[in-house]
Amino acid sequence: MAIILRLDRVMADRKISLNELSERVGVSNVNLSKLKTGKVSAIRFSTLNAVCKALKCQPGDILEYTEDETDTD
């Protein structure tokens, strides 16, 4: 199982910069950058809520589930 973060795509669609999103959400550039590049292992619901509110999107627009070829469950 793999969760892929698509924050970069949604940000590009909305033409919003990392700095602007950071200001709107109240999360540091560093943490949003990690989220944008997928270098996180968890995300708080409060952060996800704030990002979705700022970008006017649904969590499914940012998070994508893919099944690994090696998964047998």
Spacing of C-alpha 18 from chain mean position: 12
Tell me what pLDDT residue 55 has: 97
**What is the per-residue pLDDT across 39-72, written as a single tens digit (0 to 9) for each?**
998 999 999 999 999 999 999 999 999 987 765 5
Instruction: Give 58's contacts (C-beta < 8 A, 6+ positions apart).
Output: 52
41: nearest Cα among 31, 51, 29 = 31
Cβ atoms 59, 52 nearer than 8 A? yes
The domain over range 2-66 is classified in CATH as 1.20.58.760:
no
The pLDDT of residue 68 is 78
In angstroms and rounded to an integer, the radius of gyration of the C-alpha atoms of the chain is 13
Each domain of the chain, given as residue ranges in start order, spans 2-66
User: What is the pTM for the complete model shown?
Assistant: 0.85
